[in-house]
């Protein structure tokens, strides 16, 4: 289904969706971040890139898995699955939506993670095509994405100046549009032509690229023991920003948080974990298979461009550019990949 | 004005003479405004070095990595490491010397003076230029910066786009150095704690609301800790894993390891983390501003540490990073220390 | 019937003076509110800021650090270091917005049982109206 929505009607549509939890980018100081919206009038979609991706709505940084407490009969354990109230996330960039599809693969397969899937199934993603690119370091075109990619989205919106062009891609998307039916108009042929033009121009505006990324997984296979990683990681300060900001990273740690020891009361909590932290692979014997920054940088590149490719036939990177923009010492994944491709030649 | 050629020549000289193992400086990053840290091992590579208002980083942090690397090697190279430092960075070196973390002979300091300006604040600059892409920034002759964008040259008075800490600069040229480039110009700084006035004027409840709103954003990426040269503990109180674990550590010892903080970014845990870090930096933080620069969520961390810096000055007359011979703030005391808060 | 709020106070008492002072109060059958959880430390100088933050994090409504009078420290200088360190912790807690009445320090010698009971009585009286400490407490 294709529709046109006047920009001024956007808050009216959001009000029709009052039965949903609505998330949209909101400005905090100079940064944009996804927030739960109470006031539909406050939604503005003229942002470039959110600091954290919408992954944190479906896969929160801190999630309680179960609660336990002791009583006269022993220890009572209570599972705390997330509620299934339907949610809508507005303003999802195509790279962040593709990242959610990649994370879906990890949380399914032999074991369907109930915490992840409860939120995922009840969340609709309304995307916003990138005109102009959100970041100077965007490179989605190199990793099989695009500024108007529809992967993972229920609706794709394109900004036409004073109105949005909406393309519904799933049943969920259709239902959302039906909820505000009188607010939408049918698109004219000229509108569709404008959209095609905008999409074509947006691809030209992506300045950065990794040429011949296809060669890299095979090239990496021979580079595990190479001293290349020592050189590249010299300035890494092992801070963890690249991993926490990445929309595709999904490693987690499970801890028991004890609120009181007697009577016993506590929670089992799942937190995001970070392979760039020195203690990520620390064994309880004290041995650490990745004791230095070289091995951890190698792990990051290998996981994204070799292991994930072998396992799921996709790069575990959607080219959002956050790691490049926010690295405190300007370690640039695009440059590293270029060097990998040309290594030894 | 500091001439980059002098900097390059000095680095080339010390490398050719074998005086240092390698030198840490700044090099241009082709894909962004700020530079990359450069590790120059051969004299020819020294041509990569730059010195301009984008050289924001505190390179002292890499001395910590160097020490760790040396500790792991069987026959380490005992030559010093060359380091390009600004005035604020030199105070970090002084603190490390004071705490005997490094010896003076381990470092060869190439000091550069910021003279009457300093380094640029990326966010302020972007706001001023409204989206124009910056290709290069240079020091101007009249306390201004010359910004070269894709659309031509712009000259902006430095004070409009200086990093916040530069506006309260206490040391615009390095206090210790082996070689000093640039003028030792006097810098006026009448109120070094001016930036704190706004927060201090708030009531306790308002301050609580302010800090809660800011620290709730924290995702515990620990970038602030990782970039700080003074956070050099191998085993940080926040990490629940004990790095000193060896094959001989008994299970009982491991079980007794106290977990001070939960790993999750709950509000209370974020508060404890930031307060513990602030108190561990009392009298040691020299306001290089790196923690605030690297924070991906723009949390104003400088204000947390700066407040304790002010208390150190007002209550105990202590200035961090001013004298390598003085003891650390909490490792000394005076008979006249205030005790009006003690019953 | 609603229960009245009883604040929980964690007191770090140095073994040689303050803890002995609190023992004297007990042995002399002096009455004072039972809201204190006493933790004996060897010296007030050994009280790390972590203990204080951790006490508030775990739900303490008030924290007291008490040591020997200046000049009387069993380890000669410990209480002088404590004076400096605790001053910084107090300033930091106030800066962050915690009510200043919740964190106190005192000099209590082994003979000052009465002083100790008075300190505790005043502490409980002054923080009862503030209610439970919610700001730094882990939920």
Q: For residue range B205-248, what is the model confidence (pLDDT) as tens digits?
A: 999 999 999 999 999 999 999 999 999 988 788 886 655 666 77
How far apart are the C-alpha atoms of B131 and B93, rounded to whole Å? 36
Give the pLDDT confidence of C47-78 residue by residue, as tens digits.
999 999 999 999 999 999 999 999 999 999 99
Strand order across the B144-149 sheet: B134-139, B144-149, B152-157
Q: What does the pLDDT average to over C4-26?
A: 94
Is B262 in Cβ contact with C49 (below 8 Å)?
Answer: no
CB nearest to B227's CB, from A61, A208, A328: A328
Tokens found for residue B215: 């620290």
Q: What does the pLDDT average to over B67-73?
A: 87
Give the pLDDT confidence of C18-27 residue by residue, as tens digits.
999 999 999 9
Kindly state whether B150 is in contact with chain A, defined as any CB-CB distance less than 8 angstroms.
no
Looking at beta carbons, which residues of chain C come within 8 Å of B261?
Answer: 57
Radius of gyration of chain B (CA): 21
Q: What is the pTM of this model?
A: 0.94
Q: Are C21 and C112 in contact (CB under 8 A)?
A: yes
How far apart are the C-alpha atoms of C20 and A208, rounded to whole Å? 71
Looking at beta carbons, which residues of chain B come within 8 Å of A240?
Answer: 221-223, 226
CATH number listed for the domain at residues C9-130:
3.40.50
Residues of chain B that touch chain C, judged by Cβ-Cβ distance less than 8 Å: 199, 204-212, 237, 260-262, 266, 268-269, 271-272, 275-276, 278-280, 282, 304, 307-308, 311-312, 315-316, 329-331, 333, 337-339, 341-343
- Look at residue C1 in the predicted model and tell me its pLDDT: 47
How far apart are the C-alpha atoms of C24 and C22, rounded to whole Å? 5
Looking at beta carbons, which residues of chain B come within 8 Å of A277?
Answer: 222
Kindly state whether C130 is in contact with chain B, defined as any CB-CB distance less than 8 angstroms.
no
Q: Are A5 and A184 in contact (CB under 8 A)?
A: yes
Mean pLDDT, chain C, rounded, equals 93
How far apart are the C-alpha atoms of B34 and B26, rounded to whole Å? 9
Q: Are A54 and A94 in contact (CB under 8 A)?
A: no
Q: Are A149 and A94 in contact (CB under 8 A)?
A: yes
- From the list A51, A29, A61, the residue with the least C-alpha distance to A326 is A51
Pairing between strand B107-112 and B179-181? Answer: parallel
Which ranges of chain A have pLDDT less than 50? none
How far apart are the C-alpha atoms of B79 and B88, rounded to whole Å? 25
Q: How confident is the model at residue B260 (pLDDT cuts 50, 70, 90)?
A: confident
- Touching chains, A (3+ CB pairs < 8 A): B
Q: How close C42 comes to chain B (CA, Å)?
A: 18
CB nearest to B246's CB, from A62, A255, A286: A286
- From the list A214, A204, A215, the residue with the least C-alpha distance to A138 is A204
Q: Are C7 and C61 in contact (CB under 8 A)?
A: yes
Q: For chain C, report the end-to-end CA distance as a whole number of angstroms.
A: 26
Give the pLDDT confidence of B122-164 residue by residue, as tens digits.
888 888 887 777 888 888 888 888 888 888 888 888 888 888 8
Buried b vs exposed e over A23-37: b needs ≥16 C-beta within 10 Å?
bbbbeeeebbbbbeb
Mean pLDDT, chain B, rounded, equals 89
CATH number listed for the domain at residues A2-60+82-204:
3.40.640
Report the half-sphere exposure of C89 (CA within 13 A, side-chain side): 27
- Look at residue C77 in the predicted model and tell me its pLDDT: 93
Sign of CA dihedral B270, A64, A92, A309: positive
CA distances for A288 relative to A251, A292, B242, angstroms: 18, 9, 12
Q: What does the pLDDT average to over B260-275?
A: 92
Q: How close B75 comes to chain A (CA, Å)?
A: 19
> Looking at the predicted structure, is the pLDDT value of residue B94 above 90?
yes
Is A257 in Cβ contact with B264 (below 8 Å)?
Answer: yes
3-state secondary structure of A228: helix
- Look at residue A145 in the predicted model and tell me its pLDDT: 92
- Look at residue B240 in the predicted model and tell me its pLDDT: 64
Kindly state whether B293 is in contact with chain A, defined as any CB-CB distance less than 8 angstroms.
yes
- Look at residue A29 in the predicted model and tell me its pLDDT: 85
């Amino acid at each position: 289904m294709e529709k046109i929505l006047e920009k001024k009607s956007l808050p009216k549509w959001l009000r029709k969706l009052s039965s949903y939890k609505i998330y949209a980018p909101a400005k905090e100081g100079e940064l944009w971040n996804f927030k739960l919206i109470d006031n539909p009038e406050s939604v503005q979609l003229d942002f470039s890139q959110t600091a954290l991706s919408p992954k944190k709505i479906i896969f929160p940084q801190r999630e309680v898995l179960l609660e336990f407490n002791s009583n006269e009969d022993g220890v009572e354990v209570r599972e705390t699955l997330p509620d299934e109230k339907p949610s809508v996330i507005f303003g999802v960039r195509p790279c962040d939506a593709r990242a959610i599809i990649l994370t879906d693969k990890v949380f399914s397969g032999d074991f369907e993670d109930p915490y992840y899937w409860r939120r995922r199934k009840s969340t609709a993603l309304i995307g916003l095509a990138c005109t102009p690119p959100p970041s100077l370091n965007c490179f989605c075109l190199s990793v099989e994405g695009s500024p108007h990619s529809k992967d993972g989205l229920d609706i794709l919106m394109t900004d036409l100046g004073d109105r949005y062009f909406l393309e519904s891609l799933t049943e969920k998307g259709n239902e959302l549009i039906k909820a505000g039916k009188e607010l939408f108009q049918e698109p004219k042929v000229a509108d569709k032509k404008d959209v095609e033009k905008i999409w074509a121009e947006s691809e030209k505006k992506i300045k950065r690229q990794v040429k011949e990324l296809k060669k890299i997984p095979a090239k990496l296979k021979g580079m595990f023991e190479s001293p290349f990683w020592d050189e590249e990681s010299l300035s890494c300060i092992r801070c963890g920003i690249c991993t926490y900001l990445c929309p595709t990273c999904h490693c987690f740690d499970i801890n028991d948080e004890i609120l009181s020891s007697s009577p016993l009361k506590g929670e089992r909590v799942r937190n995001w974990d970070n392979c760039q932290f020195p203690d990520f692979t620390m064994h309880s014997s004290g041995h650490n298979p990745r004791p230095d920054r070289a091995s951890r940088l190698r792990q990051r590149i290998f996981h994204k461009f070799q292991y994930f490719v072998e396992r799921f036939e996709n790069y575990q990177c959607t080219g959002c550019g956050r790691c490049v923009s926010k690295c405190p010492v300007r370690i640039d994944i695009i440059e590293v990949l270029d060097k990998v491709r040309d290594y030894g030649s | 004005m500091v001439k980059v050629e002098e900097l390059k020549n000095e680095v080339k000289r010390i490398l050719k003479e074998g005086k240092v193992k390698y030198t840490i400086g700044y090099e241009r990053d082709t894909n962004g405004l700020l530079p990359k840290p450069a590790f120059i091992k051969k004299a020819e590579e020294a041509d990569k070095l730059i010195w301009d208002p984008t050289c924001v980083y505190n390179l002292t942090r890499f001395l910590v990595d160097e020490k760790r690397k040396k500790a792991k090697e069987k026959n380490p190279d005992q030559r010093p490491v060359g380091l390009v430092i600004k005035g604020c960075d030199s105070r970090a070196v002084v603190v490390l010397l004071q705490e005997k973390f490094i010896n003076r002979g381990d470092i060869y300091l190439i000091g550069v003076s910021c003279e009457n300006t300093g380094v640029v604040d990326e966010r302020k600059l972007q706001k001023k230029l409204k989206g124009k892409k910056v290709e290069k920034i240079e020091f101007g002759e009249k306390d201004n910066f010359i910004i070269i964008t894709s659309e031509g040259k712009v000259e902006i008075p430095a004070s409009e786009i200086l990093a916040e800490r530069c506006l309260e600069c206490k040391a615009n040229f390095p206090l210790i150095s082996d070689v000093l480039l640039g003028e030792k110009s006097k810098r006026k700084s009448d109120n070094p704690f001016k930036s704190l006035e706004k927060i201090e004027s708030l009531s306790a409840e308002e301050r609580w609301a302010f800090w809660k709103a800011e620290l709730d954003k924290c995702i515990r990426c620990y970038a602030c800790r990782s970039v700080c040269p003074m956070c050099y503990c191998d085993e940080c109180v926040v990490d629940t894993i004990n790095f000193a674990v060896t094959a001989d550590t008994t299970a009982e010892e491991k079980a007794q390891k106290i977990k001070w903080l939960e790993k999750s970014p709950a509000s209370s845990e974020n508060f404890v983390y930031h307060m513990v870090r602030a108190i561990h930096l009392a009298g040691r933080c020299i306001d290089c501003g790196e923690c605030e620069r690297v924070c991906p969520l723009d949390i104003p961390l400088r204000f947390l540490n700066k407040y304790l810096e002010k208390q150190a000055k007002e209550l105990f007359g202590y200035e961090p990073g001013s004298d390598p011979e003085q003891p650390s703030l909490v490792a000394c005391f005076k008979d006249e220390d205030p005790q009006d808060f003690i019953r | 019937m609603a229960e009245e709020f009883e604040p929980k106070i964690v007191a770090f008492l140095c073994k040689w003076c303050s803890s002995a002072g609190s023992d004297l109060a007990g042995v002399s059958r002096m009455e004072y509110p039972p809201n204190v959880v006493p933790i004996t430390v060897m010296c007030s100088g050994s009280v790390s800021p972590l203990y204080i933050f951790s006490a508030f994090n775990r739900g303490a409504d008030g924290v007291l650090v008490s040591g020997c009078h200046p000049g009387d420290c069993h380890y000669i200088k410990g209480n002088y270091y404590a004076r400096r360190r605790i001053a910084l912790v107090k300033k930091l807690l106030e800066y962050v917005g915690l009510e200043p009445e919740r964190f106190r320090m005192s000099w209590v010698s082994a003979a000052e049982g009465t002083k100790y009971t008075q300190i505790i009585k005043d502490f409980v009286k002054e923080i009862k109206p503030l209610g439970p400490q919610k700001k730094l407490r882990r939920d």
